Amino acid sequence: MKNPKIIGPGSSNVDLTGFAPKLPTAGETVMGTRLAIGPGGKGSNQMTAAARAGGDVYFITRLGEDTFGKVLEAHFDREGFRKDHILISDEVDTACALIEIDEADAQNRIMVIPAANSHVGRDEVMAAEGDFATCDVVLTQLEINMTGVMAAAELARKYNKPFILNPAPALPLPDEIWAFVDWFTPNETEVTLYTGVEVNNDDDARAAAKVLLDRGVKNVVITLGKRGAYWTDGKNEAIVPGYPVKAVETTGAGDTFNGAFAVALGEGKSPVDALAFANAAAAISVTRHGAAESAPQRDEIEALVK
Ligand code: RIB
Q: Which residues form the domain of 270? A: 5-23+34-305
Residue 48 reports pLDDT greater than 90: yes
pLDDT tens by residue, 158-210: 999 999 999 999 999 999 999 999 999 999 999 999 999 999 999 999 999 99
CA of 203 to the centre of ligand 1 (A): 30
142, part of any domain: yes
How many other CB atoms sit within 10 Å of the CB of residue 279? 26
Which residue, judged by its Cα, is nearest atom 10 of ligand 1? 41
Percentage of the chain modeled with pLDDT above 90 = 95
Write down the H helix ranges in 21-145: 42-53, 67-79, 122-126, 129-133
pLDDT tens by residue, 196-255: 999 999 999 999 999 999 999 999 999 999 899 999 999 999 999 999 999 988 999 999
- The CATH number of the domain holding residue 79 is 3.40.1190.20
Query: Identity (one letter) of the amino acid at 259?
Result: G
29, part of any domain: no
Residue 1 reports pLDDT greater than 80: no
Pocket test for ligand 1, best of 99, 139, 142, 223 (most atoms within 8 A of CB): 99
Q: Which residues are catalytic?
A: 255
78, part of any domain: yes
Q: How many domains does the chain contain in total?
A: 1
Residue 107 reports pLDDT greater than 90: no
Nearest to 104 by CA among 289, 293, 249: 249
Provide the mean pLDDT of the chain: 97
Tell which atom from ligand 1 comes closest to the C-alpha of 14.
Answer: 8
**Is residue 43 within 8 Å of residue 256, measured between CB atoms?**
no
Segment 62-81 shows an average pLDDT of 98
Tell which atom from ligand 1 comes closest to the C-alpha of 251.
Answer: 2
For the purposes of burial, counting CB atoms within 10 Å of the CB of 263, is it exposed (0-12), middle (13-18) or buried (19 or more)?
buried
As a whole number of angstroms, the distance between CA 270 and CA 219 comes to 13
28, part of any domain: no
Residues in contact with ligand 1 by the CB-under-6-Å rule are: 11, 13, 15, 40-42, 45, 97, 110, 112, 143, 251-252, 255, 291
Which residue, judged by its Cα, is nearest atom 9 of ligand 1? 41
Q: Residue 105: what pLDDT? A: 87
Q: How many helices (H) and strands (E) does the chain have?
A: 10, 13
**Judging by DSSP bridges, how do beta strands 95-102 and 13-20 pair with one another?**
parallel
Q: Residue 2: what pLDDT? A: 87
**Is residue 186 within 8 Å of residue 167, measured between CB atoms?**
yes
Segment 276-293 shows an average pLDDT of 96
Q: Is the pTM of this model over 0.95?
A: yes
Q: Residue 189: what pLDDT? A: 96
166, part of any domain: yes
pLDDT tens by residue, 254-273: 999 999 999 999 999 999 99
Question: What Rg do the C-alpha atoms of the chain give, in angstroms?
Answer: 18
Nearest to 19 by CA among 251, 286, 246, 282: 251
Nearest to 258 by CA among 41, 57, 46: 46
For the purposes of burial, counting CB atoms within 10 Å of the CB of 192, is it exposed (0-12), middle (13-18) or buried (19 or more)?
middle
CA of 254 to the centre of ligand 1 (A): 10
CA of 150 to the centre of ligand 1 (A): 21
pLDDT band at 106 (very low <50, low <70, confident <90, very high): confident
pLDDT tens by residue, 11-36: 999 999 999 999 999 999 999 999 99
